[in-house]
Amino acid sequence: MNTINICFDQEPSAIYTLWKAFISRNSRYVPSKEYLIIHASRREFPIDMKHLNDFHSICGVVRLAQLHMLYPFTLVYPYIMRVLCNEEIPVSMFKTLNTRNSIIMHRPIMPDERLEIDCRNSQPRITAKGIEIDVHSFVQSRDEKVWENTTTYFYPGKFGPSGESSCTHKIEPLKDGAAIDQWHLQAKDRFRFARISGDTNGIHYWYYYARMMGFERDFAQPIRIVTRCVSSIPDIEWTRPVRLDFYLKGPVYYDSTLTLKNAVANCKNRFDLFCSGNDKPVISGILYNV
């Protein structure tokens, strides 16, 4: 399988990524074509302590000795975007939606470790309602895989008979969940967190732009909210491997009250997050030790 390797010595420029996405915005899916695999990687680099502290402060969670399970997402996200904006990807980055994520933290990662990043795309899959593309991200420390994530992006449209359907990834409804956390999501630190997370889409910090795009208002990046959800779930042994699967079902608007419900079955935490004004969950997930 043919590949394109893009190696970085520093974090990719967000402005250049947007430019690449703009000039490749008219990419079109061609049935039966085997697409190139784009590898975006980063050599050994240290953790920025200010970046780490700011992440915990804005997400409203206590910093532990090891990295938070969601924190490496902020490290790999710029490389995920560089994969998606490549002209070899058959959809426009501006029209894709992140629908689900699967993270495995193989062991605790200490802040003083030097890390390496590798992100790569899958072949596109036709589903009943559009195209799905996965971006697989890996974080290594001294050649040891310590964290990995699969992010699934969805591009709507009709592209022919569906193969692997996204319905195979549906999560079971939450039954008898108890409220374990509730908080008000203030409309603050919006652009600041955009820079921390790497997700600088204006719908996350610009009220009027989000309205222009058809939303009620600007809404938070999923990583900001899921970080708080994961930290609120009890009885997880963070010294052991942990897996998190979460599904994004709707926007988490700023200036809303959020309620987290959780139920434990077969040693797995099944949780739903609700946003005031919406009786359906906006984020659903499963968290457990593996």
Q: Which fold would CATH assign to domain 171-290?
A: Thiol Ester Dehydrase; Chain A (3.10.129)
Q: What is the dihedral of CA 189, 94, 151, 276, to 10 degrees?
A: 50
pLDDT given for residue 166 in this prediction: 45
Q: Kindly tell me if the per-residue pLDDT of 25 is higher than 50.
A: yes
Q: According to the model, what pLDDT value does residue 170 have?
A: 77
Report d(CA 191, CA 282) in Å as an integer.
Answer: 22
Both tokens assigned to 112: 């003083």
User: Over the chain, what is the mean pLDDT?
Assistant: 94
pLDDT in tens, 197-222: 999 899 999 999 999 999 999 999 99
**Is domain 1-164 in CATH 3.30.420.10, yes or no?**
no
What pLDDT was estimated at residue 165? 47
3-8 and 37-45 as β-strands: parallel, antiparallel, unpaired?
A: parallel
Give start and end residues of each alpha helix (H) in the chain: 14-23, 49-59, 71-84, 190-197, 207-212, 222-232
Q: How far is CA 40 from CA 26, 37, 128, 213, in A?
A: 22, 10, 30, 30
Query: Which residues, in sequence order, are CB contacts of 63 under 8 Å at separation 6+?
Result: 52, 53, 56
User: Which phi and psi angles does 268 have, rounded to 5°?
Assistant: -120, 135
Is residue 264's pLDDT more than 50? Answer: yes
Residue spans in the chain of domains classed CATH 3.10.129.10? 1-164, 171-290
Give tens-digit pLDDT for 106-151: 999 999 999 999 999 999 999 999 999 999 999 999 999 999 999 9
Alpha carbon distance 218, 212 (integer Å): 10
